[in-house]
Amino acid sequence: TVRFSKKARPFIEESLWHHSQEIKREKDGSILFRADVAEPREVLWWALQWGADAEILEPKELREEAKKTIERMMMLYA
């Protein structure tokens, strides 16, 4: 599950990213994107392309991997 910002929402909604995808609009204009994928790391790479307009929520292990990747990126730009 990935939360996309209101800003990214139109770009996510206009395309079929995965055959199992489900998109739910939130009251604040963001969306929750869910899909059952064989390789969750693909979701990590895809979500990171959206920068701060995407937040990986589940699975917990993928969220933790995203945090570690972002921390390493922060050290590169420090």
pLDDT > 90? residue 9: yes
Q: Which residue has the tokens 């969750």?
A: 40
- The mean pLDDT of the chain is 95
Q: Which residue has the tokens 């869910």?
A: 34
> pLDDT for 10-20, tens place per residue?
999 998 888 99
pLDDT classification of 69: cutoffs 50, 70, 90? very high
> In terms of C-beta density within 10 A (0-12 exposed, 13-18 middle, 19 or more buried), how is residue 53 classed?
middle
Regarding pTM above 0.85, the answer is yes
pLDDT for 17: 84
Higher pLDDT, 67 or 39: 67
- For residues 35 and 2, the answer to whether their CB atoms sit within 8 Å is no
